[in-house]
Amino acid sequence: MKVKTLLFLIIFQTSYIMSSDNFGIAVHGGAGVMKNLSEEQKQKIENKISDTLIKAYTILEKGGSSIDAVEFAVAELEDSPLFNAGKGSVYNSNGVQEMDASIMSGKDRMAGAVASIQRIKNPIKLARKVAESTEHVMLVGEGAEIFAKNIGETIVDQDYFYSEKNLKRLKKAKAKKNAGIQSATQDKIGTVGAVALDINGNISAATSTGGMTNKMPGRVGDSPIIGSGTWAQNGVCGVSSTGHGEYFIKYQVAREVCARIEYLDKNISTSSKEILNELKNIDAEGGLIAIDSEANIAMPFNTDGMIRGSITSKSILNVAIY
Ligand code: GLY
């Protein structure tokens, strides 16, 4: 056999073995109290989730990477005022937005995160730049914004995040706090996230949030914490969480889903449902989306709703809130 033919066969076989028929993506737009959403709001949310999924799926269908797909999907949701991330971020107790985000590639455990940033249009893009262009995993506050400026990431005025609705939420949260009413659940607006598997078997995950209305300045939730809000591990699973961040940090929720698959041989559905039930038992509210190495998807939640959707090479577009 000629050397050229042999070389062709090796390259062909390697790429054949490494590509998979299974690929797909899931996204979430937060878990919480959804009972009072109007039909119009529901429609807008479902349209945005469908549109985002279809576009992100096209990236994967064309052979694009899962890290590109999750970054794209989360940035799309960050640009929408419908979700608590990027443009729609809620106000902290000082009346400003402080955003957190993280992204991870299961191929090589590349991970990047930003926290407490105030003027970055797309926190998820900055998180990826932290992973790819620095020797660190997380940058916070002013340091993160200086880095963003140096690399030409889009910086916006705080006016960009102005929202009447979110100001009302802040007012309501302050009034509740003053009256001594405890309310951890986010009111109808949530963190965003995406998980994906590409044709090369690479799993990625990304999460972005404005955190909790009326949070203390400087408070950081689970979304930028690798292992809590975001986790990706090739051959096992990818997870993006949403919910009461403090609990998701203490229970290392995203990594825990994958650990139970890896060490206890559970499937993705059992593993993620179990954890959400355990959280419910301690009054920790939230949900998560997860994908495994065969493009099986799980999207459990223990609240009355979670904005979510998925599309894979073996399952049609599916979008739901309740
Ligand atoms: N899960 C979002 C947060 O607690 O900030």
pLDDT at 300: 97
- 264 lies in some domain: yes
Is the pLDDT confidence value at 86 over 50?
A: yes
- 96 lies in some domain: yes
- 10 lies in some domain: no
Beta bridge partners of 226: 230
Total number of domains constituting the chain:
1
pLDDT at 223: 98
Kindly state the average pLDDT of the residues 264-276.
98
- 55 lies in some domain: yes
- Take residue 44 and report the two structure tokens written for it: 């807008």
- 107 lies in some domain: yes
User: Which of 20-24, 126-130, 273-277, 316-320 is least confident?
Assistant: 20-24
Position 189 confidence tier, pLDDT thresholds 50, 70, 90? low
Kindly state the average pLDDT of the residues 142-158.
97
Position 183 confidence tier, pLDDT thresholds 50, 70, 90? low
From the CA of 84, give the closest atom in ligand 1. Answer: 2
- 169 lies in some domain: yes
- 12 lies in some domain: no
Q: Cα(173)–Cα(167) distance, rounded to whole angstroms? A: 10
Is the pLDDT confidence value at 131 over 90?
A: yes
Whether the CB-CB separation of 271 and 257 falls below 8 Å is answered with: yes
- 16 lies in some domain: no
Catalytic, 213? Answer no
* % of the chain residues with pLDDT over 90: 87
How remote is the CA of residue 283 from the centroid of ligand 1, in Å? 15
Position 7 confidence tier, pLDDT thresholds 50, 70, 90? very low
Is the pLDDT confidence value at 42 over 80?
A: yes
From the CA of 212, give the closest atom in ligand 1. Answer: 5
pLDDT at 19: 55
From the CA of 243, give the closest atom in ligand 1. Answer: 1
Does 221 contact ligand 1 (Cβ within 6 A)? yes
The CATH number that applies at residue 215 is: 3.60.20.30
pLDDT at 237: 98
**From the CA atom positions of the chain, what is the Rg in Å?**
19
Position 21 confidence tier, pLDDT thresholds 50, 70, 90? confident
Does 30 contact ligand 1 (Cβ within 6 A)? no
Kindly state the average pLDDT of the residues 184-211.
87
Considering the candidates 5, 58, 134, 191, report the single residue annotated as catalytic: 191
Domain that holds residue 310: 21-320
Does 212 contact ligand 1 (Cβ within 6 A)? yes
